Amino acid sequence: MPAPLMGPSLTAAGLAAWVFASSGHDEDARRCGEFQDVIDAALKRGEHAVPVARLGLEQTAHLWERAAEILDGQVAGSDDRRSASESARQSERLRLRACSVRRLLR
């Protein structure tokens, strides 16, 4: 994973981990948290790229898309417009990150 994607991916991994943890998907939360830890450690070491296996990137993109779907469900079920708007924004953010990761796989 190249440097320009590291920061946004760190944030997306944390967001997805929070979405999964708050919705009772502990294993998926753990997997997102592990990916977040890998990126964080590389950044702390001053690395400009993170070596990630192709399968790991595919799984990460899939997890982020699933987290976005959970957020979409919160949008549909919310009576609070502000909360629904924020959930929709975060859902789109996860989808954009998943898309950028999938581009690396081409």
pLDDT higher than 90, residue 61 = yes
User: Which sequence spans correspond to the domains of the chain?
Assistant: 3-104
pLDDT higher than 80, residue 79 = no
pLDDT higher than 90, residue 86 = no
Please tell me the distance from the alpha carbon of residue 15 to that of residue 4, in angstroms, as a whole number.
Answer: 18
Please tell me the distance from the alpha carbon of residue 69 to that of residue 76, in angstroms, as a whole number.
Answer: 11
Predicted local confidence at residue 15, as pLDDT: 96
Predicted local confidence at residue 83, as pLDDT: 80
Residue range 9-30, pLDDT digits in tens: 999 999 999 999 999 999 999 9
State pTM to two decimals.
Answer: 0.90
Q: Tokens representing 22?
A: 């708050």
